[in-house]
């Protein structure tokens, strides 16, 4: 069920490969063990039209919104946020050292009333994992 929505200002593409950023936060979220792999949906929104702080053209931002199922303990949410944010900071470290940038992350617990889902990902993911698992015996 967890959704990671990564918004970023388009000027970052000169300095940063956004695919790497997406992979970093996606993998970090999975590594927490808190979120089922078949439910992880990470996506980016590239903003071409934006104004940051004093509107200087160099100003940049990345904001991550994690929308997750309700009911996890505050400590669990906090730890997950820290892990994902650490990955974000790591992958953007060079830019952070040299540019005016705001990084942020928030967690949104989704309202269980009206929450609906249908998902074939779990089955595919399991099947692929089995196929790719190292063979037990000979080969």
Give DSSP secondary structure letters for 12-47: GGGT--HHHHHHHHHHHHHHTS-S-GGG-EEEEEEE
Q: Say whether residue 115 binds a second copy (CB under 8 A).
A: yes
Q: Please give the size of the binding site for a second copy, defined by CB under 8 A.
A: 71
CB 87 within 8 A of CB 28: yes
Measured distance CA(133)–CA(121) in Å, rounded:
18
Q: Say whether residue 38 binds a second copy (CB under 8 A).
A: yes
Q: Say whether residue 20 binds a second copy (CB under 8 A).
A: no
Q: Say whether residue 106 binds a second copy (CB under 8 A).
A: yes
The single residue among 15, 20, 33, 46 that binds a second copy, judged by CB under 8 A, is: 46
Spatial neighbors of 42 by CB under 8 A, at least 6 apart, are 3, 4, 6, 22, 25, 26, 29
Enzyme catalytic residues: 2
Q: Say whether residue 49 binds a second copy (CB under 8 A).
A: yes
60-99: contacts with a second copy (CB under 8 A): 61, 63, 66-67, 74, 77-78, 80-82, 85, 89, 96, 99
Q: Say whether residue 34 binds a second copy (CB under 8 A).
A: no
């Amino acid at each position: 069920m967890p959704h990671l929505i990564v918004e970023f200002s388009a000027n970052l593409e000169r300095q940063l490969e956004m695919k790497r950023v997406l992979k970093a936060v996606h993998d970090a979220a999975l590594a927490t063990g808190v979120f089922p792999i078949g439910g992880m949906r990470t996506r980016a929104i590239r903003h071409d039209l934006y104004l940051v702080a004093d509107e200087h053209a160099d100003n940049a931002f990345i904001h991550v919104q994690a929308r997750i199922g309700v009911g996890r303990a505050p400590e669990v949410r906090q730890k997950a946020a820290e892990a994902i944010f650490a990955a974000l900071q790591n992958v953007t470290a060079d830019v952070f050292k040299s540019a005016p940038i705001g990084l942020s992350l928030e967690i949104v617990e989704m309202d269980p009333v009206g929450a609906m889902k249908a998902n074939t990902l779990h089955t595919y993911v399991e099947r692929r994992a089995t196929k790719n698992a190292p063979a037990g015996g000979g080969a």
